Amino acid sequence: MSFLRRRRAAESAKAGSGSGDDGGGGEGGDKKEREVKSRRKQGPGGGERPRRWSCVDSCCWFVGCVCSIWWLLLFLLNAMPASFPQYVTEAITGPLPDPPGVKLRKEGLAARHPVVFVPGIVTGGLELWEGHQCAEGLFRKRLWGGTFGELYKRPLCWVEHMSLDNETGLDPPGIRVRPVSGLVAADYFAPGYFVWAVLIANLARIGYEEKNMYMAAYDWRLSFQNTEVRDQTLSRIKSNIELMVATSGNKVVVIPHSMGVLYFLHFMKWVEAPAPMGGGGGSDWCAKHIKAVMNIGGPFFGVPKAVSGLFSVEARDIAVARALAPGVLDKDVFKFQTLQHMMRMTRTWDSTMSMIPKGGDTIWGGVDWSPERFFNCSTKRSKNIYMTTSERSAVRDLENRAGVNYGRLISFGKDVANIHSSKIERTDFRGAVKGRNLSNTSNCDVWTEYHDMGVGGVKAVADYKVYTAGSILDLLDFVAPKLMKRGSAHFSYGIADNLDDPKYQHYRHWSNPLETKLPNAPDMEIYSLYGVGIPTERAYVYKLTPTSECYIPFQIDTSAHGESEDSCLKDGVFSADGDETVPVLSAGYMCAKGWRGKTRFNPSGINTYIREYDHAPPANLLEGRGTQSGAHVDIMGNFALIEDIIRVAAGATGEDLGGDRVYSDIFKWSEKIQLQL
């Protein structure tokens, strides 16, 4: 029966095929078309032909590969022994030196003097205690430091909560952002990016722990005196130091970094001043409680970077990025005014005004002179002690040239930066008429003070051509009047004629070393520890920005370069010697000359020492940020610096360290500054 059924089925199929051939249509025709399509889908071997690879497939494949590799690397990182990276590094570079803490413990050094860390600007963590609706779920989460996750998730909300009140310089209504406390406040700036962590770990190796180490965390956005007004931070530092001295029986070693150097200068005047303005500790408080102040990368006279930051919210790196991708940081591409929001936010941070250059033309130079004028910017330059006769001759030839006009902190145009002042035609900007005719500001997401300047005001600023440290304050008063009104109440930038004048007892002068005296503490020591050998921003070439909606009218002219490879002018920035952020002149002058011996700024003759660390980049990627770096933050992992600090904390003096260690021309430059001492 089954045989008959198969035979009938075959006959039916044959009949259907015949009718299809005769009529060219019907069911047979449809079947034939299906067979043709089936053959088209088949590959050369008779199998099914693969379908085309689409863009979506490529994207999914790429994402899958990245995720797989990422998880594999995470697995390997957690699975490998902790010593494996060191094993690989030693296999490539040879045996690594012992960390300073291990080395000095073998020498018998142990914890003695309590240590106080004073972090600088932006390196301390800030967390949210009260916020608006957009910050729901962020109570006591870090807004600054850590992963910066909220910056990416809700940027406008983050900017709103990181900004201070534009009138008072304190908290805006309904917002409370406070500094993180403890050593974790500034041990790491972000995961894997250390600040104080390496120094803390090495101190722990000789016996230090949290009871004799204290992180003097503060809200680095506020003016120094307002940290006491709002948070009583200065009082807390005073109480903690007194407790550490009382429990240990030894004076403290204070280690400020970056802006923390200025903050602690303010503290030393505050703690001795009578209440209510000061801490009421008396004129001998520092002598009783402080063994040494070891300043790391101290901007005693401020930094030129602060000027470019306030003027156009730029530094060299941002200016280059802005030039390479025009419109990305403005509203043109992503419809988000990144630079404008950053300017609006940072101009509410009064602390930034503590970094404006101090001392005017006397310190930083005038239109036609500066202390570092003949600095050799060649990356191949040798240190003086190793110079051959031909190299010394080359340096003398260099010093016979015109040199660099570093005193011109801002020049509008490369030609203006180089020619003699007698050839510059200038128009005073101070009497220019302002107005709200910059551009169409009706659609601006954020207001900046530039919107009130008008075309006439912008043109007047550019027509003045050249700005020195003496005229920078007038410039900032003109372009940012609200900012400078607040700042002038908290900071001063001049040079005192008579330090006994009662006006210098006001707190606005306390962070300016040229307007205050050091404490009456002859047994105390002051160190200036900083990196050298890295091109550091010293002056800028500016241009007007093409007119657009809601624009910032000034920007660094990154097309301005020197005539040779070794020129000090690159990407619109004149560089001098320093640690990439603070020029040597600002970091070293006070300990080299201003406070050296008994001077009117150092009446008790506190001993001062300069310890410079010549920059050496890491030899390979396995060294991370290196152990011989002189960069402004990376120096915190410099083994030589850490060793100097540990020795002093263990009881050594500056003479025990060997006194000064200098690679730069700081002593020569200091002699060119005509300052009454």
Query: In the Cβ-directed half-sphere of 101, how many Cα atoms lie within 13 Å?
Result: 14
* DSSP-H helix ranges across 197-250: 197-205, 224-231, 233-248
174 neighbors 136 (Cβ within 8 angstroms)? no
Residues in a beta bridge with 253: 115, 292
DSSP collapsed to 3 states, 80-99: CCCCHHHHHHHHHHCCCCCC
Q: Which phi-psi region, left, alpha or beta, contains residue 660 (left: φ > 0; alpha: ψ -120 to 50)?
A: beta
> End-to-end alpha-carbon separation of the chain, Å?
125
CA-based torsion, 633, 634, 636, 641: positive or negative: negative
Catalytic residue among 163, 223, 258, 308: 258
Residue 632 is among the residues annotated as catalytic for this protein: yes
Least Cα distance to 635 among 106, 120, 21 occurs for 120
DSSP collapsed to 3 states, 617-641: CCCCHHHCCCCCCCCCCHHHHCHHH
Pairing between β-strand 176-179 and β-strand 126-130 as defined by DSSP bridges: antiparallel
Tell me if residue 398 falls in helix, strand or coil. Answer: helix
State how far the Cα of 494 lies from the Cα of 515, in Å rounded to an integer: 7
State how far the Cα of 462 lies from the Cα of 331, in Å rounded to an integer: 24
Three-point CA angle 654, 659, 660, nearest 5° = 125
State how far the Cα of 519 lies from the Cα of 512, in Å rounded to an integer: 14
Distinct helix (H) and strand (E) counts, the chain: 25, 17
State how far the Cα of 532 lies from the Cα of 534, in Å rounded to an integer: 6
Q: Is 613 exposed, middle or buried (0-12, 13-18, 19+ CB in 10 A)?
A: buried
Q: What is the DSSP letter of 536?
A: E
DSSP collapsed to 3 states, 384-395: HHHCCHHHHHHH
Catalytic residue among 632, 644, 665, 670: 632
State how far the Cα of 270 lies from the Cα of 238, in Å rounded to an integer: 10
Catalytic residue among 330, 579, 634, 660: 579
CA-based torsion, 510, 515, 516, 522: positive or negative: positive
Distance of CA 218 to the CA centre of its chain: 17
Q: What is the dihedral of CA 44, 48, 49, 52, to 10 degrees?
A: -170
Residue 21 is among the residues annotated as catalytic for this protein: no
CA 170 vs CA 30, 223, 225, 448, 493: distances in Å: 82, 9, 11, 19, 22
303 neighbors 355 (Cβ within 8 angstroms)? yes
Residue 258 is among the residues annotated as catalytic for this protein: yes
φ, ψ of residue 576 in degrees (nearest 5) = -130, -175
- Which residues does the annotation mark as catalytic? 258, 579, 632
